[in-house]
Structure formats: C-alpha cells, structure tokens
Structure 1
Amino acid sequence: MTRRRPARLAALTLTAAAALTLSACGGDDNSSDDKDKIAGADTGSDTSTSPSPSASSTEAGGRPKIELPSDMKLTFEDAETGDAVKDAVLADNAQRMRALNAAIAGTDPKGTALGFYNTGKAMEASVSWVAQFEKVDATVTGEVRYFNRKVTLKDEASAGLTFCADESKGFSKDRKTGKVAKTPVTKNSYVLYNTRLEKNADGVWQTSQIISTRGAAQCQP
C-alpha cells in the first residue's frame, strides 16, 4: 500500500474532525476525564491522504525525525521477538505512537511523522485527536508505558498488533498556564489497543486501523 501525498496536518484537520468525534484517548468512551490522559488511541481503516516528510527533517533512510518534549517519556516493552518482520512492525508502531504525541506537543507541527506512520482512517482519527488538543490549547506531559505487545502476521504486507498502555502517569497540560491536569489512577488508566498495520511501497508499516478499550481487564496491573 503506497502513501498518498502531500496534504499537511492543518489542511486535514477540518475534514477529519468533521468525520470523526473522539472523546478521549480511549476512542470508544465518552468520559471527559480521559482528556487528562496522554493521547494515543483512535479508530480507523481504509485509505487517506497523508503528509510527506521534507528532506530537512528526515533521518537516514528517509524516515522523519521525531522529537518529544523533555517532560514526556514513552517506553515500549517487548521490542524484540527474534523475528525480523515482527520486530519491524513493533518498531514502526512505536514510532507511530511517538509521532502522535509529537504532533500534539507541537514538536511536529506539520504532522510529517504522523502522516509517515499512519494511513486511512487511522490517519484521519489521529488528526482529529490532535485537533481536539489544539482546540482547548492543551498539550501532553508525563510518562506512558506500552506493554504486552503482540504481533500476528497476516501476510507479507499486513499484520495485526495488540498492546496495552499504562497511562497512569500521563496527563494533559494547559499550554498557557503550564498547569497539569492530574487525575487519580483507576482501571481506566490502562488501555488495550487492537491495531492493523499495512506495509507500504517504501517498506514502512503504517497503522491503518486502531481501536482501543479503556479499562480492559487484560491490561490491569
């Protein structure tokens, strides 16, 4: 599956926001409390227009650089399985999660990395989620740990990936005041993700579908 080019994040925001309404990182829950958690979830499938990386912001191999603020830490467990293809899926999924948070934090204002690692409805949902933070002038801070990451290869160019997120130390922050909206740790601090990834013509495993379940039993400590 090839990446389509070359729309920018701002140009996609209105379309994606109109098409999808995301209330929280969990994507499928309507609690306003979840806006106090670091973003990471949305839902999606199919194909869509994505931003393309510029030469000035790429690493070796043409992949976009992703920088996160110093007050944000993302940890990814189970990064190596011993299978090169599965490891590549896990690596690109980790970059996808970093890209989403970089777009929210403003360290990737054009959404270059977001478009590189997402496609289809997953891209639209990601843009919509970023737009919600922009609307309330908020960013993200703290720590999120991703664990129980399991890959199922479907064929040479598609894979399923499930994983959990511990968002108990991740919160939203007001950009103007710097105030962190801390919330108590509950079962909803833990999120189950069920995703589909497609390998595009450039060899990148892009997320095309992502569904999350906040408070899932299999992700509880």
Structure 2
Amino acid sequence: MKRRPLPVAAALAATAALLLTACGSGDDSSKDNDKIAGADTGDAGKSASPSASAEADALDRPKMTFPSDFKMVFDRTEPSESKEAAALNDAENFVRAINYGILQQDAEDAAYKFYSDPRGNAQAYAKKQIQQYIDGGWTVTGTQRYSGAKVDLASDGNRASVSFCDDDSKFYGKEIKSKKVLKTKPSNKDYYFFEIVMTTSNEAKGLWTAETIEVQKEATQCKA
C-alpha cells in the first residue's frame, strides 16, 4: 500500500512563514495498494521520549497498542529545547494515531483527533488515509523507519514546523480477510518527506497538535 498524499491548501500566513519548500502532491485516484505511516508496538499512549515534560506526561493521552507484526522506528536525536522536543514527539504521535485508526478500522477514532487540529488539513488527511484502508479491506504490517527529523520553532513559541523522512521499503498493506501481505517491488515510491505544522495552546499545556501536513512522494533525498 503506497500512501496517497492529499493536495495541500494554501497555508495560513503564520503557518507559511514556518514551512520549508512546499512539497504537497495531488491525490492519486488510482487503486494501487498504498502504504501509510506506521506505529510502534506496545503502549504508545504517552509521548515517545522519556525526556518529555511532566506537563505532557500528565495529559490524559489516548492509549494506543499495536500487534507484534507492526513497528515504527524513529532514528533521531531528542531536541535539547523542551518545546521542540514536545512538538516532535506529538508529531510522531499523530502519525502513530493514523495507523492506530487503520488497525482499529475506525475513521472516527479519537486518537488522531486528539493529536490534530480541525482548523487545518491534518485531521482531514488522517481521516482520509484511514477511510481508504477501511474501504479497501486492508490493514498494515511490517516496519517503517523515520529519520532526519528537524524542528523549526516559531518566535512565539506556540507553533513549530516538524519535518522528517519516511522509509516504507519494508512496510506493507495486508488484506484483512485473507491475511495476504501485499508486498511491492522496492522503488522510489517507498520514500516520503513529511512537513507537519504543530501548534500548542495554554488550554492544553504540553500537548502539541498537527494543524497542516504536506507529504512529498518519491522523496529520493530520503534514501539511505
């Protein structure tokens, strides 16, 4: 299963100032099998990093557990600045939540809504990714690897642009009824580059939510 990136609408002025070169691509209307962002095995209800703030740990985060054949690996260094670390951790949690919704076969799952802001396109992106798997009768399996994470924090400290690479070369869709793994031939289509604008507010201290997302397909700069 190859992910179908959504077209990205014009960003808000404050958001546009943070984003790197625009890399959203059009929605692929073909029915070829698509991969999508992966998730860790085990409990992902808390932030991915043990150095996350006590405020973030105190939040009532959704509990996400995954089967043993499903793994997401983050190859990155924890940012030293606490807000950058929190933004990165919750960007990862947003990606986890998409896969959790796929595994739950629930396009209205609470996890991706918890980690996204309905005012941007990120929540709609997550819902569409989950729904296309439900419609196809697919789930996910294998290992997905993220690397090259970068966080650019805005001057107000409440908005950040998070980017990273995604390697899907060992990550596959799987038919739910037959359990058949839909393996694909390795190609440039296995690589994606994500840019996610994360925001935070005083109403939920420690929580960062995805507002907008851009996904570049065939991101050959992400090949090892």
TM-score for both structures, normalised by structure 1: 0.75
Cα offset for 1:214?
1.2
Q: Which residue number corresponds to residue 74 of structure 2? A: 76
Contact 1:74 1:145 in 2 (8 A): yes
2:5 paired residue among 9, 26, 45: 26
Equivalent residues in 2 for 1:31-180, closer than 5 Å: 32=30, 35-39=33-37, 60-106=58-104, 110-120=108-118, 121-154=121-154, 155-180=156-181
Q: Is the 8 A contact 1:144 1:168 kept in 2?
A: yes
In structure 2, C-alpha distance between the alignment counterparts of 1:96 and 1:66, rounded to whole Å: 11
Deviation at 1:100, TM superposition (A): 0.6
CA distance in 2, matches of 1:125, 1:117: 12
Gaps of 5+ in 2: 7-24, 39-56
Residue 211, structure 1, aligned to residue 190, structure 2: no
Shift of 1:114: 0.8
Structure 1: where are the runs of 5+ without partners? 1-22, 41-58
3-state secondary structure, aligned to 1:97: helix
Shift of residue 110 of structure 1?
Answer: 5.0
Note the C-alpha offset of 1:39.
3.9
Give the secondary-structure state (helix, strand or coil) at the position aligned to 1:131.
helix
1:105-135 per-position Cα deviation (integer Å, ceiling 9, x unaligned): 1187751111110112210121111111111
* Post-superposition CA distance 1:151-170 (Å, at most 9, x none): 00012210001110001111
Q: Does structure 2 conserve the Cα–Cα contact (< 8 Å) formed by 1:25 and 1:35? A: no
Report the residue type matching 2:86 in the other structure. Answer: A
For 1:91 and 1:69, locate their aligned partners in 2 and report how far apart those are by CA, in whole Å. 21
Contact residue 144 and residue 168 of structure 2 kept, 8 A = yes
Aligned equivalents of 2:149 and 2:138: distance in 1? Answer: 29
Distance 1:153 1:86 in 2: 7
Q: Scaled by the length of structure 2, what TM-score is found?
A: 0.74
Do the aligned partners of residues 164 and 37 (structure 1) sit closer, same or farther apart at CA in structure 2, a change above 3 Å counting? same
User: Relative to structure 2, which stretch is displaced further, 205-214 or 77-86?
Assistant: 77-86
Query: Which residue type is aligned with residue 137 of structure 2?
Result: D
Aligned residues, how many? 181
Task: Tell me the alpha carbon deviations over residues 19-47 of structure 1, each in whole angstroms, 9 at most, x when there is no partner.
Answer: xxxx834343527476332347xxxxxxx
Verify the 8 A CA contact 1:24 1:34 in the aligned structure 2.
no
The answer for the alignment partner of 1:196 in structure 2 is: 197
Paired AA for residue 194 in structure 1: E
